[in-house]
A and B are shown apart, each in its own frame.
Chain A
Amino acid sequence: MNKDNKKPSLFARLFGNRNKQLSFMEEEQLQSPTRMIVRNFLNNKLGMAGLIVFLCIFLFVMIGPKFFILDLSYQDNTQVNVPPTLSMLSIPEGLEGNVKDITPGTTFGVGVDNDGHLYTWGYTKITEVIDVGNIPEEVKEAHIEQIAAGYDHIAAIDDKGNVYVWGNDRLGQTNLPSDITTAMLMKKNLNFKQLEAGFQFSAALTEDGQLYMWGNQNMADIKVRKEYQGNIEKIALTTYNCVALLKDGTVAYVGLQKNAIADQLPEGLDNIVDIAATGNTVAAVDADGKITVWGNASDGLNVIPEMSAKPVELYGGIKHYTALLENGEVISWGNNFHKQATVPESVVEKDIETVFAGFYQNYAITTTGETETWGLKGYAFGTDNLGRDILTRLVNAGQVTMTVGAIAVIISLVIGIILGGVAGYFGGWVDMIVMRIAEVIGGLPFIPFAMILSAIIGTRISVEQRMYLIMVVLGILSWPGTARLIRAQILSQREQEYVTAAQAMGVREKTIVFKHILPNVLSLILVSATLDFATCMLTESTLSYLGFGIAPPTPTWGNMLNGANNSVVIQQYWWRWVFTAAIFGVCTICINLVGDALRDAVDPKSNGR
């Protein structure tokens, strides 16, 4: 023994270079099969990259649904086919600090600065041809004082009392009342003090209390009772109706129709200082700060939160209210799906002068002229044909797809291991029957067979049961591969020396199969399970894509792509399929990479020995 062979010092043992070249004997000693597989796998760069990306996607879709909560019944026809954008609350530079009026639209915002210039931001396209962002030339030249955005049109009034309407003009949105057109022709200024817009109709109120309404009268109640004319202080528009605050401090429904807003109008409302409306309700605040809400209230609109001071002004979005308090604070309540009822911290700290609320957005102007915003910013991945956020659906769909794939693989593994084990263990006629069944099932055309099962059984069960049905069908149809693998392995392992040794030592057959053979086959099972997982996900998505898998509204990556196969969607609504296809493609590629890398790691031939 020479000096080189003495034990290394403690320091060297702790911090020394462990990657030193080992002698042949040492290297051989260190490697148990499991260790070898792990080491081989870790050395495979492609496989590791696949594993890391897959784990990221996996965590994303498993944790994601906690943050992107899916409401299955949700749909919103004002948010249909919105492309990916987060600019719905981004006020253009020229307008910042110089705001005269802002009106939030469905997916866009329109603002006027103190110099009368008009700005639009967000997604201004209503349909393929109608774009409210196309501001008419005469509007660009005019000095605009007031604006109002409806569902598909914008109305504006300039300093000379001229009224402009653009956007969708097919349902009478631009049919101004004759009084206004005459006045415009005569160059007479009607002195408008308020302009509002609802669903395909608009309303303008003059200083002397005259109310003009025009637009699509099939839907909206745009007639004004004679007795209120000249007596109106302020108006608030719901989706289809108009409610007025009269000069004597009472509130009246100005139209002729019978509906919830008119019928439920509370008695004894007086000393009212401000009114506001959401899509289906109206709210009024009196001089004492008491807020009354009526109409078809949902989302807690009629549950007025506690306020630190007296509310003085009210503003209404489509599903939420915002109130400005005496002390400059702001409170929002109602539907909070787009965070439109969550007033941010930065607003709480500041003194607010006024608020512009509408649809799902709020713009607060501070006393120093700054703008604070909260509400619907936009959709990172756009929305689909029912106005649902694609990102939310994508995350939740991933969870469903992976769960279905995993359970289907587990079912197929259990059946495969049991039947394959039985066939390999017993042999003889049992083997013969099991393998024939496996051959038949493996030979059936998979997709058509799953389709007919899903079509026949699936029509009479609930959506949730149908999901289980798909898992079971996938599992039952995909076990033959696993069974064949297990059987072949058991047959070949039985011939190995270690089994002979175990038999010679008198170990029971059952113990040999489960304690000696199975652990040796485990790595191969893992490989086949990984690859099967990808296959099951693919099959599920293909079935869902064809409409025979998991039924909407439950999202899966497959059924989110259902309906994407026409040129209009592919080209114009690309976001409806690109993101889903991309994440799904990346996911299956990664699983296959991992599976391949595992197979190479398990296969001793690939070690180059």
Chain B
Amino acid sequence: MNMKNSSMKHFTLAGWLSLLGIIVVLFVAIFASSLAPNDPMDTSPERRWKDDIKGYPLGCDNLGQCIFSRLIHGARLSLEIGFASRLVALAIGLIVGLTAGYFGGWIDWILMRIVDMFLAFPSLLISLAISMIMGNGLGTVIFAIAIVGWAEMARIIRSAALELRSSEYVIAAKTLGASDLRIMLTHILPNCLPIITVIFTMGIATAVLSEASLSFLGLGVNPAMPTWGGMVSTGKDYMISHPELVIYPGLCIAFLVIVFNVFGDELRDVLDPSHKGNF
């Protein structure tokens, strides 16, 4: 494996910082219920726009909901949707990519044309249309993001598998009579893992952005639920008097996306120095 090269690169400061950032966000997301001082969906007309109540660190929004608690729970929703939609996309991408890359020939040709079709679709419009048709909900959003994300993964996994197909150990395994499925799972898949890790990490950043865009346009999960995109969407109507309602959740989204992007970049430098996962 190329990980054991003498020229192996190490994580830079930015890499460690982004890892720390990811750990912090994961921690906040996992323990959201204990960390949040208030119920994120508890509305109250008396607390509307109040910013001096004890126990409400960042004040209250237009419905009197605790902004801080909503931000914390937003981290959980963003990550849940980010991870789940990427896992679904990865599952489809793996099946299609490995099959196309391993078998090659006309199977590869047909599968890659299907990938081309999905890459050509305007992704946000497809996600929006799916959300509209299926009605809002967690499952819908995960599906709507996964369905436009798998094609890119399939293409990258395919090109990695295509290279491994003619490697000596795959030919050796074939000569020994190993089944296609066995070769794919025990010889090709493990060697694709570095690239898969990289595209999975960076994909989470994209998925979080997509979720935020869907929520911003009002077609994400239930608008009452605390999502960062939804909070920005509410905040934009009050931007002149209360710009913080846009800024806080906006910075949260940017932070989450930055740490996953930087970490993915660093992972690529370490795991995949030839940048095969690049395109």
Asked if A and B bind, the verdict is no
Residues of B within 8 A of A (CB): none
